[in-house]
Amino acid sequence: MVEHTPTDEGIIFFDSRDHAAQVALELIKQARQEICFFGPLIDPVLFDNEPAIEQLSEFSRRSPRSKIRFVVCDTRKNIAQSHRFIPLAQRLTSKIDIHIASKKHQKLRSMFMLVDNSAYLFCPNAERYYGRAELAAPAEVRDRQQQFDEIWSHSKQDINTRRLNL
């Protein structure tokens, strides 16, 4: 269980890599239908660890409707560092999509994850692991989901992370 102290409003503030990773894992465990992520790359702190990969794998196999969508600016660093999420995405191509953001959205410095229509994690600066999360915030998620859908609609599938069938 994540050790965090929600405020009276239910907001969880985090200010370290470890705490951000714990909160992200808690959100993944809570997911039932969809996980969306936007950031400069497939974040190694949040997603390149065994507990996160196990939970993402379990989530994606849980339901025929479960879906994971990532939009990032670049995946070359993830590929060079053998990020564990990429082989999972290559095995579960009907469940996991990785897209590259359009030039218009590559200037965004934030990073966020949305879970279903209820929970989110947000870092205003993707290079620093400080920010906030809420486990039950449908209004905030609705606004961020509109932003994500806008980014998604202008993105393109990442050819670098697709599985090559030889």
149 lies in some domain? yes
Spatial CA neighbour of 148 closest among 43, 30, 28, 36: 36
7 lies in some domain? no
In tens, the pLDDT along 39-74 reads 999 999 999 999 999 999 999 999 899 999 999 999
pLDDT for residue 162: 79
44 is in which domain, residue-wise?
17-157
Tally of CA atoms within 13 A in the half-sphere of 13 that contains its CB: 4
1 lies in some domain? no
Count of CB atoms situated within 10 Å of the CB of 156: 10
Spatial CA neighbour of 160 closest among 83, 107, 103: 83
165 lies in some domain? no
163 lies in some domain? no
CATH number reported for the structural domain that contains residue 151 in this entry:
3.30.870.10
% of residues, the chain, pLDDT over 90 = 86
Band (1; pLDDT cuts 50, 70, 90): very low
Give the global pTM: 0.91
* Alpha-helical regions (H) of 36-96: 44-47, 50-62, 76-80, 85-91
Dist CA 165 CA 160 (whole Å): 13
Dist CA 162 CA 136 (whole Å): 33
Domain count, the chain: 1
89 lies in some domain? yes
